[in-house]
Amino acid sequence: MKILRFSRKQLCIPYALFLICFVVLPLAVIVYYAFTDGSGRFTWDNLLGFFTNGNTIGTLCYSIAIAVAVTAVCLLIAYPAAYVLARSGLKKGPVLLMLFIMPMWINFTLRLTALKEILTILEGNLSLYPFLNTVIAMTYDFLPFMILPLYTTLLQLDESLIEAARDLGAGPAAVFFRITLPLSMPGIASGITMTFLPAMTNYVILDMIYNSTYIMGSLIGSYFNIYDWNNGSMISLILFAVICIVSLITDREEQNDAKNRGAVL
């Protein structure tokens, strides 16, 4: 019986086909509509219109502000939690970690509906504090995505480096800021990427909390709903560029931290 053997190039064919069909071709369509008008002629008007329209610029700035606030709050909550779970030596640390992740197993609609009811009881009218409620709802939804990479990174820290710092006379604060925090930067970068990028576009949360439509995801959807593919595609392309820039920055930070860890070791 002849055994089939596949080379590495052959095994890459399904993945390459997937990328072409579901990444390259859709992106090419977006680029085409972004730089053409209704008649299919090349134009810069869609790009210029984005930067000269106060509504689109305001929505972009508001979306970035929400994403920054949500990411900051998630980081402030997730880092101490991940640190305690990973470095405190708790025997039931993995069990406690599962408690943070378990809400993600519940249906998205049920989770947000329950949160909306709680906020309504506490505030009455949710529209009085739209920014605050948005940050609370997104933090509730994205917090596990910040905890997991931090927990994994902190769990893998080289204990010998921390012990060496203590032997050299470093106090708890110095050990944390000089050793633990720098070595945990890859986890911080991964958590920021997994939180910041979806927070800019996840308008479903806003719609379910108080029927809001002033975030980038909903703005893009509004253009496609009226069949204005040209402006909708341009906004999508600009948002894609912002996401790429953020990803490049975080990736560069991870590479620099890896080099620094290698130099220390």
Measured between alpha carbons, how far is 148 from 187 in angstroms, rounded to an integer? 8
Residue 261: pLDDT above 60? Answer: no
For the stretch 8-57, pLDDT in tens is: 777 788 888 888 998 899 999 999 999 998 888 999 999 999 889 888 88
pTM for the whole thing?
0.80
pLDDT of residue 133: 87
pLDDT above 70 coverage of the chain, percent: 88
Q: Specify the CATH number of the domain 68-264.
A: 1.10.3720.10
For residue 48, the one-letter residue type is L
Residue 225: pLDDT above 90? Answer: no
Residue 123: pLDDT above 60? Answer: yes
CB atoms within 10 A of CB 124: 9
Measured between alpha carbons, how far is 122 from 60 in angstroms, rounded to an integer? 30
What value does the CA radius of gyration of the chain take, rounded to a whole number of Å?
23
pLDDT of residue 209: 78
pLDDT of residue 4: 58
pLDDT of residue 179: 82
Measured between alpha carbons, how far is 191 from 194 in angstroms, rounded to an integer? 5
Using CB atoms within 10 Å of the CB of residue 231, give its burial: 0 to 12 exposed, 13 to 18 middle, 19+ buried. Answer: buried
pLDDT of residue 25: 93
Mean pLDDT within 117-133: 82
**How far are the Cα atoms of 5, 6, 18, 47 from residue 9, in angstroms, in the given order?**
12, 8, 15, 39
pLDDT of residue 139: 92
Q: Where are the domains of the chain?
A: 68-264
Listed in sequence order, the residues at least 6 apart from 153 whose beta carbon sits closer than 8 Å to its beta carbon are 183, 184, 186, 187, 188, 190
For the stretch 159-212, pLDDT in tens is: 787 788 877 787 888 888 888 888 888 888 889 888 988 888 887 888 777 665
Residue 101: pLDDT above 80? Answer: no
Averaged pLDDT score across all residues of the chain: 82
